[in-house]
Structure 1
Amino acid sequence: MELRHLQHFVAVAEDQHFTRAAERLMVSQSGLSASIRALERELQTPLFVRTTRRVTLTEAGRALLAEAERVLAQVRAAHEAVAAVQGVLRGTLALGTEQCIAGVDTARLLAGFRRRHPDVEIRLRQAGSGALAEEVAAGRLDLAFAVRSPGDAEQLTAVPLTAEPMVLLCHPGHRLAVAGAAVTPEDLGEEVFVDFHPDWGPRRITDAAFAAAGVRRTVALEVNDVHSLLDLVEQNLGVAVVPRHFRHKRAALAALPVKGTGEAVYRTVALLPPPSATSPAARALMTLLEAEPSSGGA
């Protein structure tokens, strides 16, 4: 099994199309098809289901994809490690982050990294913490700034960034804001909630806290960005349980402490693969983060 076969296989899996993958790899389509056939012969199983419009992975292909991505990530890390020993940091830094993550100013951090390491290509992806953890574990990301969850892959290293309580945000005219007291999940059972998609860190924390309290809640308004959530709450269309630093993004909203949620604390971390698989670029970024700590959100 040759590395180029794995590279070709991953490209076709990502693009779901032989022509687009061949163009991206700058190889002929016939050569790419031959490479995939050689891999299928060696493994003695089809890896793709081919149609006139696209190709999809077979069950064997899905199993191979995770391993192929890990192998290619390790090969890339090996090349970058040799370059680092030679005194030049090269290659790619693939970073993932949730929106408005606390404990790190991502834009400022990446600007500082680029000034110090101009030969490294920076790639940034925003997603929910669950997806980011999976991508770090699979080798598609070098590291991610995320919210730690018990369901994340055990082999990941979690470097703490910050921790803060969750608060309830609501319209200043809402009955709870008028009362001005701390609230419990039981107080909120009849409320309509604005929240993020289930993969987001704050949503996962809130879902777990309400489940532990035995209180069902209705998430009627589901969004995938912070400002939409704040807009909906400001229009009194629902309430939201969010990390405390969100309150500073919309001063007009009332923020109330949330009690009776046990361990419902928003804890952000840098998620990295095991030390042996951590790329030199990821280590350099972490060194810069430790030297220039920031409590700001990105």
Structure 2
Amino acid sequence: MSEITLRQLQYYVSVIDHGSVTAAAISCHISQAAASMAVGQLEKAVGADLLIRTRSKKVVPTPAGITFAAHARAILERVAEASDAIAESMVEMRGPLQIGCAHTLSPRLMPGLVDHFVSNHPLVDVGFREGAPSALQEDVRNGRLDVALVYEQQADDDLERARIATVRLHVVLSAHHELAGRTSIHLAEIAHEPAILLDVPPTVERLTAMMQAAGVEPRMRWTSSNMETIRAMVARGLGYSFMNSPPSTGTTYEGGKVVFIPVADRTAENAIVALRPAGQPAPRRVRAAIDFLRETGQAITNQYSNEDHRP
């Protein structure tokens, strides 16, 4: 095998991220010819085609290219981490930090995390993306994300997980519902009413299975990929829903009111977790993000622990 250089890996990963050699060259401040030559040399060195060139000048990775990109990202990250380790005690934390977060968790977790880095570690280029848990986890595997924040019941077993907070399933009801004043609710008490569930796989399937395990069959009426839409519909008395990590306010965009009441039935334990590639050392900035999330997550855990002891 011919010699592989870090520059080749850097340019190749940039081509993958930008979708074209031209865009990658601009991002890396090199000529298009230099970027194309580096990728060609890399393909020759590994003895496999890594990219498919299309007529529109866009490129897509081959199956081998996808696998190689994940390893290339890990190598580049380790080299950067080795440099950081030497100067860690002497220089301010810096570098890119890409966080993926499930849609329903993002309003609770991301504002505080971004504010923390902007205020305390301004040289860290923090970015975040919201998405479905399955897509976020795939991007962790491919190296596009440093960490993904999802519920533990949505997490795949091949990724390393760090628990951020324990959560508890709540029923979402209109503030005018006859059961709105309760401290807990059994699923059988609401099963006859219309269910309005979050359409983000595998949410519907898991909630349906949970209710069936409790001996009740949900009356599925509507689904939505937007939790705020669901809350507004519930506030109008059109049905009920569920949330694992309710917000601090029950006011909807329309000014309606909902309440969040813990489920009294025994349900599977769930938690918010941070997912990373298994077996890879976490960069300093990633460790800092997880540590901060654990600190803020303790308040979430305490909130639900206190609910268990309400009169």
TM-score tier by shorter-chain length is 0.7 to 0.9
Which residue of 1 is the match for residue 72 of structure 2?
68
Which stretch shows the higher mean deviation, 209-218 or 270-279? 209-218
Relative to the length of structure 1, the TM-score reads 0.78
Q: Specify the code of the residue in structure 1 equivalent to 2:50.
A: L
Which residue of 2 is the match for residue 197 of structure 1?
200
Q: Specify the code of the residue in structure 2 equivalent to 1:253.
A: V
Q: Distance in 1 between matches of 2:178 and 2:146?
A: 46
Instruction: Give structure 1 stretches of 5+ with no counterpart.
Output: none
Which residue of 2 is the match for residue 31 of structure 1?
34
Which stretch shows the higher mean deviation, 51-60 or 204-213? 204-213
1:162/1:268 contact within 8 Å kept = yes
Superimposed CA distance per residue, residues 39-92 of structure 1 (whole angstroms, 9 cap, x where no aligned partner): 221222222221121222222212222222222222222232233133432222
Correspondence list, 1:87-126, <5 A:
87-99=91-103, 101=105, 106-126=110-130
Q: Specify the code of the residue in structure 2 equivalent to 1:118.
A: P
1:98/1:126 contact within 8 Å kept = yes
1:166/1:244 contact within 8 Å kept = yes
1:161/1:267 contact within 8 Å kept = yes
Correspondence list, 1:262-277, <5 A:
262-263=267-268, 265-272=269-276, 277=281
Q: Distance in 1 between matches of 2:38 and 2:187?
A: 59
Shift of 1:278: 0.9
2:194/2:221 contact within 8 Å kept = no
Q: Distance in 2 between matches of 1:99 and 1:83?
A: 36
1:167/1:241 contact within 8 Å kept = yes
Percent identity between matched residues is 25
Correspondence list, 1:22-61, <5 A:
22-53=25-56, 54-61=58-65
Q: Structure 1's 32 and 143: CA in aligned 2 closer, same or farther, altered over 3 A?
A: same
- 1:280 matched to 2:284? The reply is yes
Q: Distance in 1 between matches of 2:125 and 2:67?
A: 29
Secondary structure of the 1:45 match is: coil
Which residue of 1 is the match for residue 249 of structure 2?
248
Q: Distance in 2 between matches of 1:72 and 1:65?
A: 10
Q: Distance in 1 between matches of 2:280 and 2:62?
A: 31
1:49/1:55 contact within 8 Å kept = yes
Which residue of 2 is the match for residue 85 of structure 1?
89
Q: Structure 1's 222 and 293: CA in aligned 2 closer, same or farther, altered over 3 A?
A: closer
Q: Specify the code of the residue in structure 1 equivalent to 2:41.
A: A
Counterpart selection for 1:5 from 3, 8, 16:
8
Which residue of 2 is the match for residue 21 of structure 1?
24
Shift of 1:114: 3.0
Which stretch shows the higher mean deviation, 23-32 or 207-216? 207-216
Q: Distance in 1 between matches of 2:184 and 2:147?
A: 40
Aligned length: 292
Correspondence list, 1:199-218, <5 A:
206=207, 209-210=210-211, 218=220
Secondary structure of the 2:168 match is: strand
Secondary structure of the 2:100 match is: strand
Q: Specify the code of the residue in structure 2 equivalent to 1:245.
A: P
2:49/2:62 contact within 8 Å kept = yes
Q: Distance in 2 between matches of 1:109 and 1:180?
A: 31
Q: Structure 1's 296 and 113: CA in aligned 2 closer, same or farther, altered over 3 A?
A: farther
Q: Structure 1's 247 and 194: CA in aligned 2 closer, same or farther, altered over 3 A?
A: farther
Instruction: Give structure 2 stretches of 5+ with no counterpart.
Output: 302-311
Q: Distance in 1 between matches of 2:30 and 2:194?
A: 57
1:156/1:272 contact within 8 Å kept = yes
Q: Distance in 2 between matches of 1:64 and 1:155?
A: 18
2:167/2:272 contact within 8 Å kept = no
Shift of 1:227: 1.8
CA RMSD across the alignment: 3.8
